[in-house]
Amino acid sequence: MPVLENHLETSSFSKIAHAVENFNFSMQPREIGLVISVSTGIATVSGLPNVGFEELLQFQNGLFGIAYNLDEDEVGVILLGKNSLLKAGDEVERTGRVMDIPVGNGLIGRVINPLGQSLDNKGSVHYEKRLPIERPAHAIMNRSAVSVPLQTGIKVIDALIPIGRGQRELILGDRQTGKTAIAIDTILNQHDKNVICIYCAIGQRASAVAKVIANLQEKGAMEYTVVLAAEGNDSPGIKYIAPYAATSIAEYFMEKGKDVLIVYDDLTHHARAYRELSLLLRRPPGREAFPGDIFYIHSRLLERATHLNDKLKGGSITALPIIETEAQNISSYIPTNLISITDGQIYLSPKLFELGVLPAVDVGKSVSRVGGKAQLAAYRSIARLKLEFAQFEELETFARFGTRLDENTGKTIEHGKRIRECLKQEELQQLTASEQILVLLSLKEGLLDSIPIEKIKMAENSLLKNSKTIPSEIQKRIISNEKLSDEDSKMILKFAEEILAPFQEKPNSNHN
Ligand SMILES: Nc1ncnc2c1ncn2[C@@H]1O[C@H](COP(=O)(O)OP(=O)(O)O)[C@@H](O)[C@H]1O
Ligand SMILES: [Mg+2]
């Protein structure tokens, strides 16, 4: 025994002596506060005199929060997680930094939450660095005009309401009108376009998000897509930070010179989460009980989408925010705010949806304010379609009263009906620019006018099936943004005429 004791003594004494010798006395100030009260999604804390606005705070159970209301002797904190474990009297500590999110190439193909944690059982996320979720938008002088199209693969959008890279185009409509479908089609269509996509789900049912992810996986789109999801049952704080976090991920890629497409599905739920937080933090409610800064939370988000100039590597973020209207009321508070912030909107009408006109885009109420300049030049040869369609919609209303129509009006109406038929498109069936031009040019030149309306879809499918017969030089010219020459148009129409011949109504067929 004594031998052992001796041995212990010498070795541990020397260690302790060594430690005492090398001990540097330094004080590390830590600012710790106490929780005063907790309610759904927020907490009030006291005792953090130096806390900064939007500083990240950590509670003793590990939960994080954002300091959001700084009063003289208390701080209102947005909680980033479930508050069930938090109670009055708990300690809370400053972290000295703002909320951030991991960014990097490792995020591509992953499904994460707004805290950067994996939701896809593929282990932790590999990232390059962390970026704050709130970053100032690029200065005006860093930006350049929208000049490259973002093809959605959807005829009615690419031809009539074109979107450019760096544009912000709102998609709005009542529930179940196909808003998500348009956004997903657009993501799927980027498979060969060198565009990184980010789908940010905010406040949707988990089953709806799962369906979107399954679609993206099945079509191979996860190879260039990041999904960031804040589900319906997440705390309002998590839903509130989701789009900002997603945008920081997008900015990482944009600042590397990449083109990025980001979908916010949807900002109605985002506005509601923010309203919930503001009311709980006792901020004064305004119109529809939204707080005074509801416009600002969306404008500062969407201002971050832009096209950078070549000095900054020329990357871009195209934003497709989605808004759900109620009873087709596009003049309520949040939709009008968003309409004024964005560069145009695609309005989906439940009436058209019921009539089976899918995608249910109401062309008259939709607009793209900057995309026209970026549209592929070949679409110029079918620019008249929009006007013809507008005339048709106006005349159609009159025609319903049973008015006798002169020959010309009748023709315009028959032509318009065929335009509507041709603009219909199933979801998940994106078309290339050449395929669209083939159909729409035939349409515009009246090749479909003598085909009975019920055969139009068959005729269109036949055109699409044979679209490879268009000479590849013409197809290349279309994609490389060259105008169609008269010869090109003639050549395309010659092909179309042959393909469409079997569908044409024979004038004297009754007498044969
Ligand atoms: N172009 C389309 N063709 C056929 N079905 C469509 C089309 N667009 C949407 N749908 C269907 O309509 C339903 C509602 O679409 P969804 O995109 O979920 O609506 P929202 O996001 O507006 O609530 C879905 O079942 C979807 O499959
Ligand atoms: Mg949806």
pLDDT tens track for 157-177: 999 999 999 999 999 999 999
Quote the radius of gyration of the chain (alpha carbons, Å).
29
Confidence category of residue 402, pLDDT binned at 50, 70, 90: low
CA of 180 to the centre of ligand 2 (A): 4
pLDDT at 407 (0 to 100): 84
DSSP class of residue 358 equals S
Per-domain residue ranges of the chain:
32-98, 101-375, 380-507
Mean pLDDT, all residues of the chain: 92
* Closest ligand (CA of 211): 1
CATH class in words for 32-98 = mainly beta
Closest CA to 65 of 103, 93, 36, 31: 93
Cβ 336 under 6 angstroms from ligand 1 = no
Residues serving a catalytic function are: 369
The domain 101-375 having CATH identifier 3.40.50.1100: the answer here is: no
Cβ 183 under 6 angstroms from ligand 1 = no
Helix axes 486-500, 433-444, angle to 10 degrees: 80
Please compute, for residue 221, the number of CA atoms within 13 A of its CA located in the half-sphere on the CB side: 27
CA of 181 to the centre of ligand 1 (A): 5
Over residues 468-481, the mean pLDDT reads: 90
pLDDT at 34 (0 to 100): 95
Cβ 87 under 6 angstroms from ligand 1 = no
pLDDT at 193 (0 to 100): 95
3-state secondary structure 66-134: EEEEECCCCEEEEECCCCCCCCCCCEEEEEEEECEEEECHHHCCCEECCCCCECCCCCCCCCCEEEECC
Superfamily of 380-507 according to CATH: ATP synthase alpha/beta chain, C-terminal domain (1.20.150.20)
Least confident of 243-252, 401-410, 441-450: 401-410
CA of 507 to the centre of ligand 2 (A): 46
Contact 116, 246 (CB under 8 A): no
Supply the residue whose CA is at minimum distance from atom 15 of ligand 1.
Answer: 178
Same fold, 101-375 and 380-507: no
| 122-158 burial code (b ≥16 CB/10 A, e <16) | eeebebeeebbbbeebbeeeebbebebbbbbbbbbbb
pLDDT surpassing 50 at residue 464:
yes
Over residues 407-432, the mean pLDDT reads: 93
121: left (phi over 0), alpha (psi -120 to 50) or beta: left
pLDDT at 20 (0 to 100): 82
pLDDT at 12 (0 to 100): 75
pLDDT tens digits for range 87-106: 999 999 999 999 999 999 99
* Ligand 1 pocket mutation pick from 152, 175, 176, 205 by most atoms within 8 angstroms of CB: 176
CA of 360 to the centre of ligand 1 (A): 9
pLDDT at 470 (0 to 100): 86
pLDDT at 205 (0 to 100): 93
Confidence category of residue 266, pLDDT binned at 50, 70, 90: very high
Atom of ligand 1 lying closest to residue 348 CA: 22
